[in-house]
Structure 1
């Protein structure tokens, strides 16, 4: 955290002219990082292969996911062309629009699986505005802190707390506790990267721990049941404990090398619930074993390391804060999904990034990487 703070206190400067102009490569002209893009493409390709098995070998599901990936990659390319200064100017508008859409969900949102989380434009699209806030909210926090002295003072932290709390509370009311916590974490990552002292961090952690009883009292019954099931899945093996028992059984049965692609019994015989969305890691573990899971986790690690390197190279405070938060949030998605499927975290309904079936989530994730590439690709331009 110290290295981030030292960089944030510096001033952006233009690189000295060498007297010679080097011809820009194609990647530089389109402001894309080829290594990060390659890693993302490999992950998405592997994800389509796992999805084919997890969906019961339904090619239509794979094609639908592939089309979503293409749309998301188009969004990545478009966002990568934007100057960081342009992103900074648009941030308040994006945040305000996100809040309005969350309020619209509260008033006229579409119901599904017992929750009111979607907005529907008839005949056009059905989407979750909470996914958009995963980017708009950390952008707003980064924009605010980039205009003030760092490390942030108490007044600035209070404003950041308000920026974070508004979307978190609206999402929690849908109810969608998992997404609300992830959105909140994205904002908290920005604040941490701004250079908080460890004493302040410890104090905040103590306050959060003290607030846990209040949080427990305000949880819905099914949310409390998820926590209790996490603590003791065998208390209701045919009910609330079924998901986690089947997922851990599937992962364990894969052994070191796995049973082979399309050969998983737990997934192919439909013992495994939500196998093409939240629990797709269990399909991966059963069919490709420990080796397959480690290979995918290594791919995630390389993406995260490359992303952090790009964020650290940003030449302005807004870029470093936002880029770092985007990558840390991506890491949190992976950690939470793998943790809940393997039984070390409660089930919160978080998909595995770019592997689980889903449209809005894929678009949001790749949009975040597009913003990161814009920050890095335009790093020689100073904010206006």
Structure 2
């Protein structure tokens, strides 16, 4: 128990308490929204959601403090093989009877462990190790040149391997997209030249063109086409835009639009409080931003995004003051993770991005998501605790 007390003392002395305060503020706002978004359920179900989320936040704070005490560079250096095996193994568990998912989407993204109070999402947990391993790999490659073809192929191959692993084991292409966006942010921060990003975009576009005829009739492909039709105003697909593949996003923008500037009032949202399952779907998970828009209006949405922006900017601030390139890559990786999920989730709710099942960090309901986010921010706090003092940092830049 002394090690835990020592961890708390070290955190109180040098940990990033401001970042923790930002995370708690966002999580508290999330709890307020989850309470409203679950009132339409049976009382026991709504109470369970609040209890799970509250316990996850408390556990997340403890994990944040513990991760702050870990020398993450030393840990990654000594344990990179175990970290890779963890990422591989926990995703492969989805092939076992423990794997479960949603029949309507075809995803198999969760582990239902007997006796465990909540399901776990392997790809969510593996994001932590992915950032650590990619940062470790980039740090080793930067000495010979991060933009050399062999260096780019190695880090891109690592990312594509994880994307393929998630696609094969769970079919969760939305989570796989997050990994790609994390890679893009880390590669950009690491100094990979712009021409490689252009080449990557061209290759991705070519791949989509080649495989599209074979997947265009799939449900997840229709989620992309319905957004394009909505943005371009295609009159031939209005029914599909509003009643089929675009149903969820149609209800979302109606909720956000009806909130106006200041919202309908807390616990007063028409769709949020409706007991009909045909109203706003996934309102406590994927579409919680729409709940905020309906009940708190534009003002509430801006406040929510402001809180999340503070967390992202704090990660970038820590990255700029990190004691090494590897630590800077890690902090930027977790900033990229947050930026990707916030951008995609809000885009989903505003009907400018396909529904891919990504939750809003610190806000949406989800035990594994909350704990993962606090753990990631704890690692950022660890980097801040071990950053160079200003006078030494200035000398190092001469």
Q: Give the TM-score of the pair, scaled to structure 1.
A: 0.87
In 1, the alpha carbon distance for the partners of 2:354 and 2:255 equals 18
1:246 aligned partner: 251
1:175 aligned partner: 171
Shift of 1:133: 1.9
Q: CA RMSD in A?
A: 2.2
Runs (5+) with no aligned partner, structure 2: 1-7, 41-45, 231-237, 390-398
Tell whether 2:179 aligns with 1:190. Answer: no
How has the CA–CA distance of structure 1 residues 356 and 131 changed in structure 2, closer, same or farther, with 3 Å as cutoff? same
In 2, the alpha carbon distance for the partners of 1:215 and 1:329 equals 27
Tell whether 2:223 aligns with 1:226. Answer: yes
In 1, the alpha carbon distance for the partners of 2:214 and 2:164 equals 12
Within 5 A, what are the aligned runs for 1:101-120? 101-114=90-103, 115-120=107-112
Shift of 1:111: 2.3
1:285-339 superposed Cα distances (whole Å, 9 cap, x missing partner): 0000111111111111122111100111101111011111111210111111011
Shift of 1:85: 2.9
Shift of 1:29: 4.9
**SS of equivalent residue, structure 1 residue 134:** helix
Tell whether 2:44 aligns with 1:48. Answer: no
2:261 aligned partner: 256
Q: Give the TM-score of the pair, scaled to structure 2.
A: 0.84
Moved more, 253-262 or 295-304: 295-304
Contact 1:140 1:163 in 2 (8 A): no
**SS of equivalent residue, structure 2 residue 119:** strand
1:86 aligned partner: 74
Tell whether 2:329 aligns with 1:334. Answer: no
1:161-195 superposed Cα distances (whole Å, 9 cap, x missing partner): 22112221121122101001112222332222210
Count of aligned positions: 358
2:127 aligned partner: 134
Shift of 1:27: 6.9
Runs (5+) with no aligned partner, structure 1: 1-24
How has the CA–CA distance of structure 1 residues 185 and 106 changed in structure 2, closer, same or farther, with 3 Å as cutoff? farther
How has the CA–CA distance of structure 1 residues 373 and 244 changed in structure 2, closer, same or farther, with 3 Å as cutoff? same
Within 5 A, what are the aligned runs for 1:19-38? 29=12, 31-38=14-21
1:3-22 superposed Cα distances (whole Å, 9 cap, x missing partner): xxxxxxxxxxxxxxxxxxxx
**SS of equivalent residue, structure 2 residue 352:** coil
Between Structure 1 and Structure 2, the one with more helix by share is 2
1:164 aligned partner: 159
Contact 1:31 1:81 in 2 (8 A): no
How has the CA–CA distance of structure 1 residues 81 and 198 changed in structure 2, closer, same or farther, with 3 Å as cutoff? same
Tell whether 2:66 aligns with 1:72. Answer: no
